Structure 1
Amino acid sequence: MAVWALGLNHTTAPLDLRGRFAFALDQLTPTLHSLRGSFAPSRHPDVEAAIISTCNRTEIYCAADHAALDHTVGWLAESGGVSPSLLRSHAYTLEGDHAARHAFRVASGLDSMVLGEAQILGQMKDAVRAAENAGALGSTLNQLFQRSFAVAKEVRTATEIGAHSISMAAASVRLASQLFEDLKQTRVLFVGAGEMIDLAATHFAARSPKSIVIANRTLERGEKLASRFGGEAMRLADLPARLAEFDIVVSCTASTLPLIGLGAVERALKQRRHRPMFMVDLAVPRDIEPEVKALSDVYLYTVDDLAQVVQQGQAQRQAAVAQAEVIIDAGVQSFMHWLGQRGTVPLIQQLNAQTDAWRAAELARAKKLLARGEDLDAVLDALSRGLTQKMLHGAMAELHAGDAAAREQTAQTIARLFLRKER
């Protein structure tokens, strides 16, 4: 069984290219069906697949009898509307133990922009559930991911990998406090109501801003989140008219097109008489048009812009990284051993079927003899001899076949299999 992975992340691809390959959670089922359906059934029957898509990465994991990296690259390139050569220049392809090690490192937070962050583990679990619900997750990928979750748990228990991590939400608050002298005097707008906005709102709420407003396409969901912070909810459609009210805007939705355009921000700045606005776009693809960054009174940060801030404290985590890599190596070796054993499963099944057939034939013969009144001991003796002769027939035939060197090798193998001493 072959395992392979294809991906691009914050270190290999720019934000706008990553945006072309971002899949919302509710898109994963049809996307997985499309991917699996693109493989030739004769060459790659029952391909297992899972897709992890976050603001910092999109990764495809597959398992089948034979690896098909070129085909996977071609499918993903077509889905994003780019050439395979362009995708390859910004992507990484991994097979076997390299793919397993990567999955384990991702789950453990070692491959994240925020070293040691725990959010990716939940995102991976969501992706695995989506693959399972889509019928795309077989025993091989299930083992890969379940083992990656176990390794991630051990890494967090046995090391201090996450002790000094700074999340993007915390980094946003830190940057905002550099622009505004007192965050208690600011009005904050959050666009979206997902996990990332929940995290960001929690960090900003701790600084007690003057007001918190949640803008969301579904008002009920926005109200539910806003109530936790004593805030207000509004419809997404009302955002352009009210944008000028807010000093800080943090956006993270699953929209495929920008929700906040250059014109809307220009009008808001005019109403604000050019008082500065701090904006954070945590979405991939972008929620805020990139041209907004050029406005003199706007301080716009994307997920890539936050990289330098969140990397602070990385030096203190290097010892924990070394410990984590040891745990991951052990996990990879264990998975590859399991994967290697999977290759013998068809042979084991054939052996069991063959011995069952022999047993059934000898048992039927013994029953006929007993029905005719044959002596019980003689029938049992014939039964046992018939079974052993059938089991040894192939080995005996091989001992008399081939040249001297082949017979010697066969003899050693048969001795190892049939003349093992009981311990």
Structure 2
Amino acid sequence: MPLFALGLNHQTAPVAIRERVAIQPERLRAALADLSGGGAVMEAAIVSTCNRTELVCATDAPEHAAAWLARYHGLSLAEIAPYLYTYPDREAVRHIFRVASGLDSMVLGEPQILGQMKEAARHAESAGTLGSLLHKLFQNSFAVAKEVRSTTAIGANIVSMAAAAVHLSERIFERVDDCSVLFIGAGEMIDLCAAHFAGANPRRMTIANRTVARAEALALRVRADVLPLEAVAERLSHYDVVVSCTASPLPIIGRGMAERAIKARRRRPMVMVDLAVPRDIEPEAAQISDVFLYTVDDLAQIVSAGVESRHAAVQEAEAIIDTGVSGFLQWVANRDAVPTIRALREQAESLRQTEMERALRALSRGDDPQAVLEALSQGLTNKLLHGPTQFLRSAEGVQAVDTVQRLFQLDQLDGRADDASRDAHNDDPA
């Protein structure tokens, strides 16, 4: 099976290297054509994300792929070789199944990689480089990933601060799609939180930030409104959930501001999530009835519990993957045997035709039909067994004997003969 996976990821290469070998989606089709253009690579697919760039190929020359990856990006092989990993045959199958199932991700069990792998398969199919071997490999990886996600807890728990913020909001309001959410700040953490809340489809989202241009850029991505930071105090009561993460040395929301907001809301509850260090929201705000204040430590506890739960599910997931790998390799073995099966049947048919023609000529001459049938059966038997007999006579050791016995199921025949002998003995009159 000329199959292997080659690449680098977040575990083997720093971001400075990963970004140099990343391939943008719009360039994948041309890259695949270039990779397989020389004829050395029979089938190919490329998985390229922010955390990994991998080539999955069917080829007898795996060294060609590593050289191509370096050359395609204008690099020397020596520059990326220390960061590359290569998985041949069975290891490649297992690696692809683990990636699809989220076991090789930066966040254990994250589901985004499965969609990215499906996209990689679509690009390969569009480029004409997804042959029967890789098509079967990807389809099986999707099936294994589905079973892992549906029968284990690998993706069932919260393992990010952003997801934890949504989870805490759902504890209070049950339905986030009925809530208005205010994000204070526009950095990476707020970006992640806004993306997670957007997935819950809240009624309204607003970004408040000191730099309006950054707020507008984030708001455009997540379809939110923009609010000047100085207007937060006046508008705070309009929001059910407030998520804050800025670099301010002083609190953005004090206890007094929170009290006025709750009063204006007629005691309707408000969730406040403070992800900043130092804090954006005065701790005393937690003492106000109907204010549910959570800090970064509260979210960290939820994330820690979720990570432990996911790690406990890894063993179950690995067992599912092992079964999937064995099933795929069995398919490959059966696929590789097809030409031999076809040749064996063609040879047997040729022998049959020869003996049949000989028998028909004998019948046309008026020979005894019973004698003709006897000669036909003996002729077929001698010709079909000539090859195995010569093999046994010329081979050394017990392996050849064992092969022929299993091939012709001679052990089963011996068993049936013994049974028949015992039956005949039991039937003898005393």
Question: TM tier, shorter chain?
Answer: 0.5 to 0.7
CA distance 1:401–1:16, change in 2 (3 Å)? closer
Q: Which structure 2 residues correspond to residues 170-209 of structure 1 after superposition, within 5 A? A: 170=163, 184=182, 202-203=198-199, 206=202, 208-209=204-205
SS state at 1:184 partner: strand
Q: Tell me, in whole angstroms, the C-alpha distance in 1 between the residues paired with 2:48 and 2:165.
A: 22
SS state at 1:5 partner: strand
Q: Which structure 2 residues correspond to residues 251-266 of structure 1 after superposition, within 5 A? A: none
Residue 417 (structure 1) aligned with residue 415 (structure 2): no
Of 379, 388, 396, the match for 2:381: 388
User: Which moves more between the two structures, 84-93 or 345-354?
Assistant: 345-354
Aligned-pair distance for 1:166? Answer: 4.3
Aligned-pair distance for 1:75? Answer: 0.4
CA distance 1:197–1:25, change in 2 (3 Å)? farther
Decide whether the 8 Å contact of 2:186 with 2:214 is kept in 1: no
CA displacement 1:2-27 (0-9 Å, x = unmatched) = 32111222222233432333334443
CA distance 1:367–1:134, change in 2 (3 Å)? farther
Decide whether the 8 Å contact of 2:161 with 2:303 is kept in 1: no
Give 1:246's aligned residue: 216
Give 1:302's aligned residue: none
Give 2:17's aligned residue: 17
Give 1:50's aligned residue: 45
Structure 1 or 2, whichever has the larger Rg, is 2
CA displacement 1:83-115 (0-9 Å, x = unmatched) = 212212222211122211211111111111222
**AA matched with 1:15:** V
CA distance 1:20–1:155, change in 2 (3 Å)? same
Give 1:151's aligned residue: 144
TM-score normalised by L of structure 2: 0.63
Decide whether the 8 Å contact of 1:110 with 1:321 is kept in 2: yes
Q: Tell me, in whole angstroms, the C-alpha distance in 2 between the residues paired with 1:361 and 1:128.
A: 49
Contiguous gaps of at least 5 residues in structure 1: 175-181, 190-195, 213-241, 253-270, 279-307
CA distance 1:11–1:384, change in 2 (3 Å)? same
SS state at 2:204 partner: coil
Using CA pairs under 8 Å that are at least 6 residues apart, name the structure with larger relative contact order, 1 or 2.
Answer: 1
CA distance 1:398–1:128, change in 2 (3 Å)? same
CA displacement 1:358-414 (0-9 Å, x = unmatched) = 122223333444445544444333332222111111233345447xxx276655544
Give 1:303's aligned residue: none
Q: Tell me, in whole angstroms, the C-alpha distance in 1 between the residues paired with 2:71 and 2:104.
A: 26
Between Structure 1 and Structure 2, the one with more helix by share is 2
Q: Tell me, in whole angstroms, the C-alpha distance in 2 between the residues paired with 1:150 and 1:134.
A: 23
Q: Tell me, in whole angstroms, the C-alpha distance in 2 between the residues paired with 1:376 and 1:197.
A: 89
Aligned identity (percent) is 45
Give 1:263's aligned residue: none
Aligned-pair distance for 1:76? Answer: 0.7
CA distance 1:355–1:132, change in 2 (3 Å)? farther
Aligned-pair distance for 1:61? Answer: 0.9
Q: Tell me, in whole angstroms, the C-alpha distance in 2 between the residues paired with 1:207 and 1:171.
A: 19
**AA matched with 1:417:** L
CA displacement 1:278-322 (0-9 Å, x = unmatched) = 8xxxxxxxxxxxxxxxxxxxxxxxxxxxxx999753223211122
Give 1:60's aligned residue: 55
Q: Tell me, in whole angstroms, the C-alpha distance in 1 between the residues paired with 2:388 and 2:138.
A: 41
Q: Which structure 2 residues correspond to residues 4-43 of structure 1 after superposition, within 5 A? A: 4-40=4-40
Q: Tell me, in whole angstroms, the C-alpha distance in 2 between the residues paired with 1:172 and 1:381.
A: 85
Decide whether the 8 Å contact of 2:153 with 2:309 is kept in 1: no
Give 1:297's aligned residue: none
Q: Which structure 2 residues correspond to residues 325-404 of structure 1 after superposition, within 5 A? A: 325-401=318-394
Decide whether the 8 Å contact of 1:401 with 1:407 is kept in 2: no
Give 2:90's aligned residue: 97
SS state at 1:62 partner: strand
Give 1:132's aligned residue: 125
SS state at 1:163 partner: coil
Give 2:73's aligned residue: 80
Give 1:116's aligned residue: 109
Q: Tell me, in whole angstroms, the C-alpha distance in 1 between the residues paired with 2:4 and 2:214.
A: 49
**AA matched with 2:22:** A
CA distance 1:360–1:24, change in 2 (3 Å)? farther
CA displacement 1:254-292 (0-9 Å, x = unmatched) = xxxxxxxxxxxxxxxxx999x9998xxxxxxxxxxxxxx
Q: How many residues align?
A: 325
Q: Tell me, in whole angstroms, the C-alpha distance in 2 between the residues paired with 1:203 and 1:410.
A: 63
Contiguous gaps of at least 5 residues in structure 2: 168-179, 223-227, 233-243, 247-299, 417-430
